Amino acid sequence: MGIFKKAEKWISKHYPHEHSADRRAANEATKAQMDYYTSAKEDLHKQSESIAREKEVEATKIHEKQIRSLRNQFRNPGFMGSSVEDNSQLG
């Protein structure tokens, strides 16, 4: 046995090397975790956007309801500026 063969045997015995299959499995596991993180992040962004849209729609409905209420409460002053009732309740 040559000196290099003995050195190689000793190194592999004391410092086991990582096989390419192990490395590939670790890389695939890391990639799967990263893919899951990205998809979860995208799902959260989509949920956040839909909630923001729903809030905007609700705010618009409330605003339109307030406008309708104010329109219904407004009456032109009668002849010679008679008084107008003030019902400023929103329902």
Q: Is the pLDDT of residue 70 over 80?
A: yes
Residue 14 pLDDT: 76
Q: Is the pTM of the predicted complex or chain greater than 0.75?
A: no
- Compute the distance between CA of residue 23 and CA of residue 19 in angstroms, rounded to an integer: 6
> What does the pLDDT look like over 17-61, one tens digit per residue?
667 778 888 999 999 999 999 999 999 999 999 999 999 999 999
Rounded CA Rg of the chain: 37
User: Where along the chain do its domains lie?
Assistant: 18-69
